[in-house]
Structure 1
Amino acid sequence: MPDNRIRINADFWKGKNVFVTGHTGFKGTWLSLWLQGMGANVTGYSLQPPTEPSLFELCRMKEMVTSYIADIRDMPSLTEAIIEAAPDIVFHLAAQPLVRASYLNPIETYEINTMGTINLLEAVRQAKKSSVPIQAVIHVSTDKVYSQLDEERGYRETDRLGGGDPYSNSKALTELIVTSYRQIYEKEESEWSEPVALASVRAGNVIGGGDWAEDRLIPDCFKAILQGKPVKLRYPQAVRPWQHVLEPLHGYLLLAQHIYEDKQYAEAWNFGPNEEDTISVEQVVSSLCSKWGDQAAYQIDSDEHPHEAHVLRLDCTKSRTLLGWSPRWNLDMAISKSIEWVKTYDQLGDCRELCNKQIQEYVEGSESHDH
Structure 2
Amino acid sequence: MRILITGLTGPVGSFLADYLLTLPGLELHALKRWRSDPRPIAHLRGRVTLHEGDIEDPFAVDRTLAAVRPDRVFHLAAQSYPSASWEAPIHTMRINVEGTLNLLEAVRRHAPQARVHIAGTSAQYGTVRPDQVPISETHPMRPASPYGVSKVAAELSGLQYHDNFGLHVFVTRSFNHVGPRQGDRCSIQTFCQQMAAIELGQQEPILYVGNLEPQRDFTHTRDVARALWLLSEHAQPGEVYNLCAGQATRIGEIVQLVLARGRVPVEVRVDPARLRPSDEPILLGDNRKLRAATGWEPTIGMSEIVDELLAYWRDALR
Note closer, same or farther for the CA distance 1:325–1:60 as it changes in structure 2 (3 Å cut).
closer
Q: Residue 182 of structure 1 is aligned with which of 162, 165, 170? A: 162
Contact 1:146 1:160 (8 Å CA) reproduced: yes
Contact 1:225 1:231 (8 Å CA) reproduced: yes
Contact 2:11 2:178 (8 Å CA) reproduced: no
Instruction: Quote the residue 2:44 is aligned against.
Output: 61
Note closer, same or farther for the CA distance 1:344–1:251 as it changes in structure 2 (3 Å cut).
same
CA RMSD in angstroms comes to 2.1
Instruction: Quote the residue 1:126 is aligned against.
Output: 109
1:217 aligns with 2:187: yes
What's the offset of the Cα at 1:135? 2.8
State the TM-score, normalized to the length of structure 2: 0.89
What's the offset of the Cα at 1:218? 2.0
SS in 1 for 2:21: helix
Give deviations 1:102-133, integer Å, cap 9, x for gaps: 1111111001101111111111001136xxxx
What's the offset of the Cα at 1:279? 1.5
One-letter code aligned to 2:225: L
Instruction: Quote the residue 1:274 is aligned against.
Output: 246
Contact 2:172 2:241 (8 Å CA) reproduced: yes
What's the offset of the Cα at 1:73? 1.3
SS in 1 for 2:285: coil
Instruction: Quote the residue 2:10 is aligned against.
Output: 25
Contact 1:220 1:231 (8 Å CA) reproduced: no
Structure 2 alignment gaps of length 5 or more: none
Note closer, same or farther for the CA distance 1:227–1:71 as it changes in structure 2 (3 Å cut).
same
Instruction: Quote the residue 2:278 is aligned against.
Output: 307
What's the offset of the Cα at 1:265? 5.1
Contact 1:24 1:49 (8 Å CA) reproduced: no
1:154 aligns with 2:134: yes
One-letter code aligned to 2:239: E
- Aligned runs of 1:227-246 on 2, under 5 Å? 227-228=197-198, 229=203, 230-246=206-222
One-letter code aligned to 1:73: E
- Aligned runs of 1:1-371 on 2, under 5 Å? 16-39=1-24, 40-48=26-34, 50=36, 54-56=39-41, 59-128=42-111, 134-152=113-131, 153-186=133-166, 196-214=167-185, 216-228=186-198, 229=203, 230-259=206-235, 264=236, 266-275=238-247, 278-295=248-265, 298-302=268-272, 305-346=276-317
What's the offset of the Cα at 1:49? 5.9
One-letter code aligned to 2:98: M
SS in 1 for 2:173: strand
Contact 1:208 1:335 (8 Å CA) reproduced: no
SS in 1 for 2:116: strand
What's the offset of the Cα at 1:247? 1.9
Distance 1:49 1:211 in 2: 16
What's the offset of the Cα at 1:48? 4.0
Distance 2:119 2:187 in 1: 21
State the TM-score, normalized to the length of structure 1: 0.77
Contact 1:46 1:94 (8 Å CA) reproduced: no
Contact 1:248 1:271 (8 Å CA) reproduced: yes
Contact 1:319 1:326 (8 Å CA) reproduced: no
Identity score, percent? 23
SS in 2 for 1:325: coil
What's the offset of the Cα at 1:144? 0.8
Instruction: Quote the residue 1:351 is aligned against.
Output: none
Contact 2:162 2:237 (8 Å CA) reproduced: no
Bigger share in strand: 2
**Segments ≥4 residues shifted beyond 6 Å:** none
Note closer, same or farther for the CA distance 1:41–1:315 as it changes in structure 2 (3 Å cut).
same
SS in 2 for 1:37: coil
Contact 1:21 1:44 (8 Å CA) reproduced: yes
Contact 1:47 1:71 (8 Å CA) reproduced: yes
Note closer, same or farther for the CA distance 1:210–1:232 as it changes in structure 2 (3 Å cut).
same
What's the offset of the Cα at 1:289? 2.7
Contact 1:289 1:296 (8 Å CA) reproduced: yes
Single out whichever of 163-172 and 152-161 deviates more from structure 2. 152-161
SS in 2 for 1:329: coil
Paired residues, what number?
A: 309
Contact 2:127 2:142 (8 Å CA) reproduced: yes
Distance 1:67 1:346 in 2: 28
Distance 1:48 1:238 in 2: 36
